Amino acid sequence: MNVTDAVSSRSSIRSFKDKPVNDSVIKDLLSKASRSPSGGNLQPWKIFVINNESMDKFLEFQKNWSQPETAAYEIYPSKLKEPYRTSRFELGEQMYNLLGIPREDKDARIAQVMKNFEFFGAPCAFFCFVDKQMGPPQWSDLGMFLQTFMLLALEEGIDTCAQEAWSMKHQSVSEFVQADEEDILFCGMSIGYKNEEATKLSLKNGWFHSGDLAVIHPNGYIQVKDRSKDIIISGGENISSVEIENIIIKHPSVSLAAVVARPDDKWGETPCAFIELIDGQEVEEGELKTFCRQYLAGFKMPKTFVFQTLPKTSTGKIQKFELREVVKKL
């Protein structure tokens, strides 16, 4: 495997087989990865491997740990700006969509997050610590070391998943591996062989299940109609948010439209339309409803219209997740 293939095919695996990884293989990979560049050749990474019996002991130790934990550091800025905020959110939505976990199933999402702390079933792992004295330049060295290790592992047919989530378990991990007090836990890494069956959940019959809904026309043209998570189910009927949006923006006073589901005691969900008007234009809700009725069946009609500036990314994409939060307060 050449470097290009390794970089393009590496991915973070979140479901592993219980097939063991030989200690000697890990030791060899770590030795090779130690040639990663670092400023002043400080090689600031401190690695603690858990494998086989030590993995069993660690998971049991974690299970019985009852003391409060304090995160070693803030993984993301508290006010993450665009486009990073949307990128992070969309990645999470794509992952949960592939796992078949809907937004409203909070318990299932929490359960998936907690799998981080079981290494997603991997039989081997390591923790990467760094001296608290070290600053951003040395932390960037850690990233180069971790990437080098992951690429070398892939060359050996071994899969990985780097996990900053472990920084939230700084105290218990430090206690187990007997890390020095002046060291801080940067991340963990799951190591093993990916569970092909889990991969097949998102790759079936040669197709990647992206969560998009589309139709194939007689001429072979494929038209994406909507995202499965954006479909509104009202009174047992499936309603395409995109269909409604395409009608609303035909109105000469409308600049942008976004439609999301609003909970309804009678129908389960009803369409809620957020409208951004063209500068200087005005339109009454009644007028817009009359306009929409010309094109939409009654059950597809938005029950709620909200006029506001729509939240967007730096590239102009409407952030529907923010509108769903607004709906909760209506």
201 alpha carbon, distance to own chain's centre: 17
Task: Give the count of beta carbons closer than 10 Å to the beta carbon of residue 19.
Answer: 11
The reported pLDDT for the residue numbered 320 is 87
The reported pLDDT for the residue numbered 209 is 62
pLDDT band at 196 (very low <50, low <70, confident <90, very high): confident
pLDDT at 102 over 80: no
Taking each helix axis from N to C end, the angle separating 241-248 and 285-293, rounded to the nearest 10 degrees, works out to 110
Residue 17 CA: distances (Å) to CA of 133, 149, 159, 289: 38, 20, 10, 55
The reported pLDDT for the residue numbered 205 is 60
Least confident of 116-120, 178-182, 203-207: 203-207
pLDDT at 127 over 60: yes
pLDDT band at 217 (very low <50, low <70, confident <90, very high): confident
The H or E element that residue 59 is part of is helix 53-64
> Shortest CA distance to 245 belongs to which of 282, 294, 300?
300
- Give the mean pLDDT of 232-241: 92
- Give the mean pLDDT of 22-38: 97
pLDDT tens string 49-68? 999 889 999 999 998 998 98
pLDDT at 206 over 60: no
What is the spatial distance between Cα 316 and Cα 192, in angstroms, rounded to a whole number?
40
Whether the pTM exceeds 0.85: the reply is no
> Shortest CA distance to 122 belongs to which of 29, 212, 36, 58?
58
pLDDT band at 221 (very low <50, low <70, confident <90, very high): confident
What is the spatial distance between Cα 267 and Cα 299, in angstroms, rounded to a whole number?
10
pLDDT at 167 over 60: yes
Query: Which residues, at least 6 apart from 161, have a Cβ–Cβ distance to it below 8 Å?
Result: 12, 13, 14, 119, 120, 122, 189, 190
pLDDT at 200 over 70: no
Higher pLDDT, 315 or 96: 96
b/e code 196-231 from CB counts within 10 Å (16+ = b): eebeeebeeeeeeeebebeeeeeeeeeeeebbebbb
Alpha carbons within 13 angstroms on the beta-carbon side of residue 83 total 9
The reported pLDDT for the residue numbered 97 is 77
Q: In 62-181, where do the E strands start and end?
A: 124-131, 159-163
The reported pLDDT for the residue numbered 157 is 95
What is the spatial distance between Cα 12 and Cα 88, in angstroms, rounded to a whole number?
15
- Give the mean pLDDT of 250-255: 95
> Shortest CA distance to 189 belongs to which of 161, 167, 170?
161
> Shortest CA distance to 195 belongs to which of 13, 55, 322, 65?
13
Neighbouring-strand partners of residue 233: 238
Mean of the per-residue pLDDT values of the chain = 90
What is the spatial distance between Cα 165 and Cα 327, in angstroms, rounded to a whole number?
30
Q: Give the sign of the dihedral formed by CA 248, CA 250, CA 253, CA 257.
A: positive
The H or E element that residue 24 is part of is helix 23-33
pLDDT at 315 over 60: no
The reported pLDDT for the residue numbered 166 is 96
Which phi and psi angles does 37 have, rounded to 5°? -70, 145
The reported pLDDT for the residue numbered 105 is 76
pLDDT tens string 156-165? 999 999 999 9
Least confident of 189-203, 207-221, 226-240, 281-295: 207-221
First-to-last alpha carbon distance for the chain, in angstroms, is 55
> Shortest CA distance to 288 belongs to which of 247, 329, 259?
247
pLDDT band at 140 (very low <50, low <70, confident <90, very high): very high
- Give the mean pLDDT of 248-265: 95
pLDDT at 310 over 80: yes
The reported pLDDT for the residue numbered 52 is 86
How do strand 268-277 and strand 304-307 relate by DSSP bridges? parallel
Neighbouring-strand partners of residue 191: 124, 160
- Give the mean pLDDT of 259-274: 95
The reported pLDDT for the residue numbered 189 is 98
Q: What is the set of domains in the chain, with CATH numbers?
A: 3-200 (3.40.109.10), 229-329 (3.30.300.30)
pLDDT at 17 over 80: yes
What is the spatial distance between Cα 303 and Cα 103, in angstroms, rounded to a whole number?
22
pLDDT at 314 over 70: no
